[in-house]
Amino acid sequence: MRSKLASQLNALVAETGAKTVAAYLPFGTEPDIGGFLEEATDADFELIMPVSLRDGSLEWVVFSGAKAPGIFGFDEPVGEPAQLTSADLILVPASAADQTGARLGKGKGFYDRALADLSSGAKTAAIVYDQELLERVPTEPHDRPVDFVVTPERTVPAGQRP
C-alpha cells in the first residue's frame, strides 16, 4: 500500500511534469520518503541524490538503490555523477516550513548553497510532517525559499495558506 507521503510526492512529480527529480535519503526523524524512492526506481523519471562533501557542498549522483556510509556516518547514495541543474523538481528535507516557502534545515546550509547556485528554474519542495508546517519560520538572508511544502496530508504551493 502506497504511503500518503509517496502519494503526495508522486502527484507533485506529475503536476510539475518532472523528468528528473532530485531527492534525498531520509535520516533520523525526517519524514520517510522511502516509499516514494522505491517506486521511483520503476517510474518514468530519473532520480538523482546528494552526497555530502567536507567543504559543505553537495555532489549529485544518479540513484539506483545503492548506498554506502558518507562523511557523517549515515548512508548516502552511490551512483554515476549527475548535475543538479538537470533536475526539474528538487525535494529538500526540512525541520519546519511555512506557507511562504521559508524552510528550516539542519543548520549546515548544504541545501541553501546548492539552491543558490541553481539557475535552471527547477521547482523546489520542502518535505515536512503536518505539524511542521507552521504559520512562520525565521529566515536569514542566505535562506532559499521553496515553491511547495509537502506533508503526508497535503501539498501547499508557496504563498498559499495551508
Quick check: 161 pLDDT over 60? no
Percent of the chain with pLDDT strictly greater than 90: 47
Which neighbouring-strand residues pair with 55?
Answer: none
- The per-residue pLDDT for range 38-51, each reduced to its tens digit, is 888 777 889 999 99
- The per-residue pLDDT for range 29-80, each reduced to its tens digit, is 889 998 999 888 777 889 999 998 888 778 999 998 888 888 888 888 999 9
Quick check: 133 pLDDT over 90? yes
Q: Which helix (H) or strand (E) holds 6?
A: helix 4-16
Q: For the domain with range 4-157, which CATH number is right: 3.40.50.150, 3.40.50.12280, 3.40.50.10420, 1.10.10.10? A: 3.40.50.10420
Mean pLDDT of the residues in the chain:
86
Judge contact between 60 and 53, C-beta under 8 A.
no
Q: Quick check: helix, strand or coil at residue 131?
A: helix
Q: In angstroms, how far is CA 12 from the centroid of its own chain? A: 12
Cα angle 52-91-65, degrees, rounded to a multiple of 5: 65
CA distance 158 to 94: 15
Q: What is the pLDDT of residue 151?
A: 96
**Residue 132 CB contacts under 8 Å (≥ 6 apart), including other chains:** 94, 95, 96, 97, 151
Quick check: 113 pLDDT over 90? no
Nearest to 50 by CA among 132, 105, 129: 105
Phi, psi of 97 (to 5 degrees): -155, 165
Is the pTM above the cut of 0.75? yes
Quick check: 117 pLDDT over 70? no
Q: What is the pLDDT of residue 17?
A: 93
CA distance 100 to 147: 8
Mean pLDDT is lowest, of 12-26, 39-53, 59-73, 108-122, for: 108-122
Quick check: 110 pLDDT over 80? no
